[in-house]
Amino acid sequence: MKIALRQLFAPILNYFESGDGDYVYKASHRKILLFMGSLFLVLSIISLVAAIVASQLAGFLPILIFFIGGFICIIIGLLGNDHAVAKIWGSK
């Protein structure tokens, strides 16, 4: 299943897994990345509910930004290798 998901999300993973060189990876980085991704997804849901209640289309931008950020964090945290996690943290 993981192989099929890695193939499906290959464009995202390839960007973060590309490159050579030294990097600093800690297991806590992956855990924090998954937590932040979950937090961003919750914020996108809260923004969606607030936009629906207020009947405002201006709420679409925060929904989109939080959802994309959370989605990428979850994908990298679950499927990415150590280099991808280090790259999203900016560790060198």
pTM of the shown model: 0.87
List % helix, strand, coil for the chain (3-state, nearest 5): 80, 0, 20
Q: What is the mean pLDDT of the chain?
A: 91
**Per-residue tokens: 26:** 């800690």
Between CA 10 and CA 49 the distance in angstroms is: 31
Q: Over its length of 92 residues, how does the chain's per-residue pLDDT go in tens digits?
A: 989 999 999 999 999 888 877 888 888 999 999 999 999 999 999 999 999 999 888 888 889 999 999 999 999 999 999 999 999 888 66
